[in-house]
Amino acid sequence: MKLVVIVGPTSTGKTSLAIKLCKRFSARGGGEIVSADSRQIYKFMDAGTGKLPLSKGSKIKKGDGYWIIDGVYVHLYDVVEPDRKFSVARFKDAATKEIESMWRRGKVPFLVGGTGFYLAAVLGETEFPRVPPDWKLRKELEKLSTGELFEKLKKLDPKRAKTIDPKNPRRLIRAIEVVLNAPSGPVPLADLSVADTLKIGLTADRETLYRRADRWAEAIVNDGLLDEVQDLINRGYKNTPPMKGIIYQAAVGHLDGKISQEEMLERIKFDLHGYIRRQLTWFKRDKEIRWFDVSEPKFGEKVEKMVESYLESNSVKTVNQ
RNA sequence: GCUGAGGUAGCAAAGUUGGUCAAUGCACCGCUCUGAAAAAGCGGCCAUGUCGGUUCGAUUCCGACCCUCAGCA
């Protein structure tokens, strides 16, 4: 079974390229997209998460847990309310089901996104201890200092304590949680066995990436971001985790009168730059990714050719003949 | 022109009663990642306006100069 994966830092046009490809291969049943993005799963967060296409002419139909953009299904948008807990494991489960459903229906799945951790989870490149989050315990442990947490972990699991970052409270808490709740029995998770995947990476030189992100930041600030954030506040989501992330936190700060609009925009740009760097650091390790420079004129056609020959190779070919 | 305040990294901003000085935040660069990942962390880079003087030693004290800001004229 085939799976096309499109990754890359923010603002490189992954989704819009994927939409084109989905339509392009309609002879093969067409494609559908699974979004691998830790923020696009939230309802009501559209402008600030890049769900809204930059090209104004796009036709959008919103469903429960998916959008249809220009006739192409984009799954795993709008999955939960911003005050609901979410996790990689839930994502892996949901994404796997979507991809398997596409295979059954004769569609080509495109897994598209910038959240490296989510992508790795779906592709089976990382395993989780099957211990679900224990939010009550986490809240308790949050009262302790990192030093105390580290000591606690050392007593509970000296081996794990040796490999963990002793200054990272979140990792320490998770490690303790795993030890304390370990024998709770395995939670079955859907697992994807992909015969072969094609990994496409979209990138550009640093300056171009920053400039594109800056341009996108300006566009959303000028067009609806603040209304969206005000709406989220009105709905009571002001203090939820996704509102504490980049872009939204800056926008809330501005609406609270703490920073000017100019300061907000600058903050958003800098946060995006840092995010881009972290994404590149993550993806750099994956040697399977075939990189394309989006600032090169015909990169789209090159990607298309590569995807085409990938889809034509072995099994899928018979579908077409 | 006079008076006052001040010149510390790309920017903002500490401290040094003179002792290998030089905090911190932002930017920038590198990295970690096993159920919060746009999260949570770790590391790196870059500085005392100029020229003299005092001193064993000056970023700190003194002088001149240059520049900036505020007020006066």
Residue A240 is predicted with a pLDDT of 97
Alpha-helical segments (H) within A145-247: 146-156, 158-163, 169-181, 206-222, 225-234
Does A211 reside within a domain?
no
Pick the more confident residue, A26 or A319.
Answer: A26
Does A88 reside within a domain?
yes
Say whether both A30 and A87 belong to one domain: yes
Say whether both A24 and A64 belong to one domain: yes
Going through A36-148 in order, the beta strands assigned E by DSSP cover 60-62, 66-69, 72-75, 108-112
Partners of residue A32 on adjacent β-strands:
A109
* Enclosing domain of residue A139: 135-184
Phi, psi angle pair for A198, to nearest 5°: -110, 125
Residue A316 is predicted with a pLDDT of 42
Average confidence score pLDDT of chain A: 93
Residue A317 is predicted with a pLDDT of 37
Does A221 reside within a domain?
no
- Tokens 């949680």 locate to A177
A49 touches strand B (CB under 7 A): yes
Say whether both A121 and A7 belong to one domain: yes
Does A303 reside within a domain?
yes
A80 touches strand B (CB under 7 A): no
Residue A26 is predicted with a pLDDT of 80
**ipTM of predicted complex:** 0.91
Say whether both A60 and A155 belong to one domain: no
∠ CA(A234), CA(A250), CA(A115), 5° rounding?
Answer: 95
Arithmetic mean of pLDDT, A173-198: 77
A133 touches strand B (CB under 7 A): yes
Say whether both A106 and A86 belong to one domain: yes
Question: CA gyration radius for chain A?
Answer: 21
Does A110 reside within a domain?
yes
What would the pLDDT profile of A264-277 be if each residue is shown by its tens digit? 999 999 999 999 99
| Positions of strand B less than 7 angstroms from a protein CB | 26-42
Partners of residue A272 on adjacent β-strands:
none
Residue A176 is predicted with a pLDDT of 96
Identify the burial level of A207 via C-beta atoms within 10 angstroms of its C-beta, where 0-12 means exposed, 13-18 middle and 19 or more buried. Answer: exposed
Sheet containing strand A31-35, edge to edge, reads: A60-62, A66-69, A72-75, A31-35, A108-112, A2-7, A196-203, A290-293
Pick the more confident residue, A190 or A290.
Answer: A290
Going through chain A in order, the beta strands assigned E by DSSP cover 2-7, 31-35, 60-62, 66-69, 72-75, 108-112, 196-203, 290-293
**Beta-carbon count within 10 A of A115 CB:** 20
> Considering the entire predicted model, what is its pTM?
0.93
The rounded percent of chain A whose pLDDT value lies above 70 is 94
Residue A214 is predicted with a pLDDT of 98
Strand B-proximal residues of A, range 225-264, CB below 7 A, are: 241-242, 244-247
Helix pair angle (A299-312, A14-24), 10° resolution: 50
**Domains contained in chain A, number:** 2
CA distances from A295 to A112, A163, A203, A258 (A): 19, 41, 8, 37
Are A110 and A6 within 8 A, CB to CB? yes
Say whether both A299 and A176 belong to one domain: no
Confidence of residue A29 (pLDDT cuts 50, 70, 90): confident
Name which of A143-152, A183-192, A247-256, A295-304 the model is least confident about: A183-192
Residue A148 is predicted with a pLDDT of 95
A160 touches strand B (CB under 7 A): no
Name which of A100-109, A151-160, A202-211, A309-318 the model is least confident about: A309-318
A206 touches strand B (CB under 7 A): yes
A271 touches strand B (CB under 7 A): yes
**Beta-carbon count within 10 A of A196 CB:** 11
Q: A165-174: long-range contacts (C-beta < 8 A, 24 or more apart)? A: A169/A142, A172/A141, A172/A146, A173/A138, A173/A141, A173/A142, A173/A149
Residue A188 is predicted with a pLDDT of 57
Does A227 reside within a domain?
no
What would the pLDDT profile of A190-209 be if each residue is shown by its tens digit? 677 766 899 999 999 999 99
Residue A190 is predicted with a pLDDT of 65
Residue A131 is predicted with a pLDDT of 92
- Residues in contact with A133: Cβ distance below 8 Å, sequence separation at least 6, in sequence order: A85, A87, A177
- Cα A162 to chain centroid, rounded: 30
